[in-house]
Amino acid sequence: MYYTCTDTPAGILLFISDGTVVNGIHWKVFKRTPGVAKDWEENRTIFKEVLDQFDEYFAGQRQTFTFAYSFQGTTFQKAVWKELEKIPYGAYSSYQAIANAIGKPKAVRAVGTAVGSNPLSIVIPCHRVLTSSIKLGGYAGGIKSKTYLLKREGILFRD
């Protein structure tokens, strides 16, 4: 496996790849961010396209990511993450709306847990999920990071 870290305007991210696709983009501050294994190789070259796209995103020149990625999770998590992928730049959804969309309207808390387990932060836009009252809720990168990303995309929310 390969990895690199980069400092973004929203915080430090850890990128993980098997050399073919990106397998993880995690906030360094998150308690469940995977640790770098001893046999992983730090290699920024493998992530050039990814880092370039992130630079474009933070510069306001990109709204979607086009590099290859893959994620592993339970069937439920994958359903939630696929629903997150449908939330367009500049828009938001709620935990309840996602639960409804995947046919599990009573699983709002489980949806929240799956959102919090998102292995590809920003690319799978979990930052675009707000509470039903349009408040922030939690975020793996911290509330300051989520606030920054939402403002970057022009998404209005309640403090």
Mean pLDDT in the chain? Answer: 94
How confident is the model over 112-139, as pLDDT tens digits?
999 999 999 999 999 999 988 888 888 8
Tens of pLDDT, residues 5-48? 999 999 999 999 999 999 999 998 777 787 889 999 999 999 99
Spatial separation of the C-alpha atoms in residues 12 and 5, rounded to whole Å = 7
- Residues annotated as part of the active site: 126
In this prediction, residue 153 carries a pLDDT of: 96
Catalogue the E-assigned strands of 21-137: 22-27, 41-42, 93-94, 129-130
pTM assigned to the model: 0.92
Which stretches of the chain are assigned E, i.e. beta strand?
2-8, 11-17, 22-27, 41-42, 93-94, 129-130
Residue 4 has pLDDT above 90, yes or no: yes
